[in-house]
Amino acid sequence: MASLTALAEEALAQAKKLDAYCLSEGRSLTSFDSDTLNDLPPDISAARDVLINSSHTMKRLALRPLGLLTEIIRFSLTYVTHFQSADALSLTAVNAYSLADHVPLHGSTTLSEIADGSGLSVQLVERFMRHAMGNHIFTEENGMVRHTASSRLLATLPDLKATVSMTSAETWPAVLKVIDAINAFPECDEPNETGYSLAHEPGVTMFAHMAKHPERMDNFGKAMGFYSKNDAWNVRHLVTGYAWSQFDRPGIVLVDVGGGQGSVSKALASATKHIKFIVQDEQISSNSDSLALSDGLQGRIEFMKHDFFTEQPIKSAQIYFFRWILHDWSDKHAVRILKNLVPAMRDGTKVISFENILKDGPETKWTERHARFAFPFPQRANLLDIETDGIRRNGDLVMLAHFNGRERTPEAFRDLFGQADARFVIESIRRPEGCAMAIIEVIWKA
């Protein structure tokens, strides 16, 4: 582990690189008012990664061991740590009451005007917004409130709003109940015996519960679309990281199993000319604006209600595709999903899955840097960049809390397909450069 001084020097060197890049490109230096670190070339993006890593590590060292633990548990015992649960609360309140919508995009207003517009009392508006301002979400001068770059995103990106709502409504209550769920159901393999079920509706799975609340299901679908815009998870890695052209001819059909609102199929349809897509999901809500297809895609994408725990009804497709499906389920149920594909398999049929892959070791930025060759750094060149520090391990525990699902190592994927049927043969597991996910290509060998 490097010393505080070495970490600070490393951070300084990267900060200088980023500032010099902005100046050489005629960009202003980055600030909370305007994000000028978007669309960075790979070497500058890597400098930003190192800066985040070294400053984050330096902060945790400076917090000292007790500070590090108490910061994580979101409970401040020492004066240097932050109350992270309050950070989350102020952001959620800003989002829930659409406070950002009541601030002009390029002007200023008062707290009482925001209160009038939102219907929340001035006192609550002031308490939530002044706390959020401590995190550079909004700023205030002489009693006038205006946007920062972050608060402006809340006002201008509806899918970000849906993602914050989804996380606070679905994930947080679930996470708090995981230990109770493990104590009550130590096997941890049923989707209705989870932290989520205990928090929301005992004995009921997350998807069954959300089906009773269409607006929350809609937020969930939008959040999936939003995550796909994050550079490390961007669906473009799937579009460019696989030779779809080999299938791009009339008559080829791809079934997007559990395809939700079809964000993957829409991206693949836009990048190809002939492949037809059937998006199957248990929840197909015809009135969701997210299902709207642009003219060019009409006739190429069809939505179909299907429960993937029943036999696959489309028998003649050449490709069966999954994104973010297998990780929702314990091995017991993921194997059932795969077995239900078997009656549709013909010699050479492909099953392609685009999933997070765990490595057999810790997933932190620090260790990622040392394992860079095996697991390339996600590059971050996108405005919608989200910190990727440990996301695969974070994701693993979120899957546990929501579904008793899990993220898997390559070995665990081989084992899963093997358990379903020995004729599923894994041809490759490849992580496209800059992507946090891998394309798992499986062929059926009759």
Ligand X SMILES: C[S@@+](CC[C@H](N)C(=O)[O-])C[C@H]1O[C@@H](n2cnc3c(N)ncnc32)[C@H](O)[C@@H]1O
> 140 to each of 30, 110, 132, how far by Cα in Å?
19, 9, 11
Nearer to ligand X, 7 or 420 (CB): 420
Burial 374-408 (b: 16+ CB within 10 A, else e): ebbbbbbbbebbbebbbbbbebbebbbbbbbbbbb
**Smallest separation, CB 264 to ligand X (Å):** 6
Burial 193-202 (b: 16+ CB within 10 A, else e): bbbbbbbbee
Piece of 7-15, 65-73, 120-128, 254-262 that binds ligand X (CB under 6 A): 254-262
Go through the chain and tell me how many residues it has. 446
- Interface with ligand X in residues 313-332 (CB under 6 A): 323-325, 328
395 binds ligand X (CB under 6 A): no
**Smallest separation, CB 266 to ligand X (Å):** 10
**Contact with ligand X (CB under 6 A) among 90, 151, 194, 263:** 263
d(CA 8, CA 51): 9
Beta strand residue intervals within 324-372, DSSP E: 350-356
**Smallest separation, CB 294 to ligand X (Å):** 18
Nearer to ligand X, 196 or 324 (CB): 324
215 binds ligand X (CB under 6 A): no
**Contact with ligand X (CB under 6 A) among 21, 138, 207, 424:** 207
Nearer to ligand X, 91 or 264 (CB): 264
Nearer to ligand X, 221 or 434 (CB): 221
> Do residues 310 and 340 lie in contact, with contact meaning Cβ atoms separated by under 8 Å?
yes
Piece of 146-154, 173-181, 252-260, 397-405 that binds ligand X (CB under 6 A): 252-260
> Do residues 156 and 141 lie in contact, with contact meaning Cβ atoms separated by under 8 Å?
no
**Contact with ligand X (CB under 6 A) among 241, 258, 378, 432:** 258
241 binds ligand X (CB under 6 A): no
In the chain the first and final C-alpha atoms are separated, in Å, by: 52
283 binds ligand X (CB under 6 A): yes
259 binds ligand X (CB under 6 A): yes
Q: Three-state DSSP class for 9?
A: helix
Backbone dihedral region of 262: left (phi > 0), alpha (psi from -120 to 50 degrees) or beta?
Answer: left
Strand 301-305 relative to strand 319-323, pairing: unpaired
DSSP 13-76: HHHHHHHHHHHHTTPPPP-SS-----S--HHHHHHHHHHHHHHHHHHHHHHHHHHHHHHHTT--
**Smallest separation, CB 299 to ligand X (Å):** 21
d(CA 202, CA 400): 16
Residues pairing with 353 in the sheet? 322, 440
Piece of 46-54, 145-153, 258-266, 375-383 that binds ligand X (CB under 6 A): 258-266
**Smallest separation, CB 332 to ligand X (Å):** 14
Piece of 11-19, 153-161, 280-288, 340-348 that binds ligand X (CB under 6 A): 280-288
Number of residues that bind ligand X (CB under 6 A): 18
282 binds ligand X (CB under 6 A): yes
DSSP 268-279: HHHH-SS-EEEE
**Contact with ligand X (CB under 6 A) among 58, 198, 264, 301:** 264
- Interface with ligand X in residues 134-173 (CB under 6 A): none
Closest CA to 434 of 275, 270, 233: 233
Structure tokens at 359: 């490595």
307 binds ligand X (CB under 6 A): yes
Nearer to ligand X, 14 or 219 (CB): 219
Nearer to ligand X, 120 or 334 (CB): 334
Piece of 103-111, 275-283, 401-409, 431-439 that binds ligand X (CB under 6 A): 275-283
Instruction: Please compute, for residue 259, the number of CA atoms within 13 A of its CA located in the half-sphere on the CB side.
Output: 27
Nearer to ligand X, 131 or 161 (CB): 161
**Contact with ligand X (CB under 6 A) among 128, 244, 308, 403:** 308
Question: Which residues contribute to the site for ligand X (CB under 6 A)?
Answer: 207, 224, 258-260, 263-264, 281-283, 306-309, 323-325, 328
